[in-house]
Amino acid sequence: MKAVAYYQSLPIDHADALQDITLPVPEVGAHDLLVAVRAISVNPVDTKIRANVAPESGQAKVLGWDVAGVVQQVGSAVSLFKPGDEVFYAGAINRAGANSELHVVDERIVGRKPASLSFAEAAALPLTAITAWELLFDRLKVAQGQAADGHLLIVGAGGGVGSILTQLARQLSGVQVIGTASRAETRDWVSALGAHAVIDHSQPLLAQLKAQGIEAVQRVASLTHTDQHVPQLVEVLAPQGQLALIDDPVQLDIRALKQKSLSLHWEFMYTRSLFGTADMIEQHHLLNRVAELIDAGTLRTTLGEHFGQINAANLRKAHALLESGKSRGKIVLEGF
């Protein structure tokens, strides 16, 4: 089968940073689905692993943890899907990625593809939707429903996770959503996704919030460059507020949170699959719920740019754009 992989960690402008290769069809385990990959999207985790995780000598490492495709074969213990089902999922970081014609995944972290979306539109959603849902409802404990529930500041609201988090918070809860974006096109994007207000994270945050009549926020979802923003985030958070993050700050002095009794929450959507938690199937239910919300018109795809066919050249371009920090929404590729 065709695949895109790397053999050594190289800068993305190197011709061998990602390569077109051929691999054998993977074996299917008891709880696994063998999926024909129709579309994928690219996430920061792809670029971080490519740059920092060297494969074993002579071995190809396949990236890609956002998929929409069709079930081809099922394992002996599979009960949720059958061949021919259209699915979408984010996969597991401790297994091979899905930048390949065929991919194996545990059925318990797979959802049915939204019927109203194309494969490309659906591939934009799984990883970010799981991350945003778990961050909002599991980590920050935001209540579903329209009862007033304070303010949520989303730092980096124009990115992949921010794009779906903004929608979930606006459509399914009573929080007032303030998104941050530093460019005109991303500010317009975040507004269109439902943010009550949009401010610029390259400028002092508190003054901008006060200009909106907001003295403090009860929750912050910091999605990018957390280490650069921590002093300001502590400043804008109300006493006993909550700070949630998904990125990997090199330094994070949590003592700054003490005076206000702020709580810190980390969201990593691979935790359930990585540790085989007893509630791993919750990601199956979560993705099915997202599909229902998409098909009902409550949520929309976060596809930002379509980079064409799934091959090494196009994936190198996608990685380069993500590394530039200038992407909007999700980058999707489709077909081999």
Banded model confidence at residue 307, pLDDT cuts 50, 70, 90: very high
Distance CA 46, CA 43 (A): 6
Residues 224, 160 share a domain = yes
- Are residues 182 and 301 both part of a single domain? no
> How many percent of the chain have pLDDT more than 90?
94
The pLDDT value recorded for residue 328 is 83
The residue segments making up the domain with residue 38 are: 2-125+271-334
Per-residue pLDDT at 325: 83
Q: Which residue in 252, 324, 334, 282 sits closest to 44, CA to CA? A: 324
Contact, 75 vs 31, CB < 8 A? yes
Q: Are residues 26 and 100 in the same domain?
A: yes
pLDDT at 136: 98
The more confident residue out of 50 and 148 is: 50
- Arithmetic mean of pLDDT, 293-316: 96
- 179 and 88 fall within a common domain: no
Q: Is the pLDDT of residue 326 over 90?
A: no
Instruction: State the pTM of this model.
Output: 0.94
CATH number of 208's domain: 3.40.50.720
Residue after which a domain boundary falls, among 246, 266, 286? 266
Main-chain dihedrals φ then ψ at residue 276, nearest 5 degrees: 55, 45
Within a 10 A sphere around the Cβ of 209, how many other Cβ atoms?
Answer: 20
pLDDT at 327 over 90: no
Calpha distance 92→90 (Å, rounded): 7
Q: Record the tokens describing residue 8, joined without a space.
A: 């050594």
Q: What is the pLDDT of residue 6?
A: 97
Average pLDDT over residues 36-40: 98
Classified as helix, coil or strand, 226 is helix
Q: Report the C-alpha gap between 105 and 56 in whole angstroms.
A: 22
Q: Give how many domains the chain has, as a whole number.
A: 2
Assess whether pLDDT exceeds 90 at residue 121. Answer: yes
228 and 282 part of one domain: no
Give the residue from 266, 284, 308 where a domain finishes.
266
Q: What is the mean pLDDT of residues 46-62?
A: 94
Tell whether the model's pLDDT for residue 329 goes beyond 90. Answer: no
Q: CA 312 → CA 12, 63, 69, 70, 116, distances in Å?
A: 11, 11, 19, 22, 29
- Of the candidates 327, 294, 306, 295, the one whose C-alpha atom is nearest the C-alpha of residue 39 is 306
Domain boundary pick from 266, 290, 308: 266
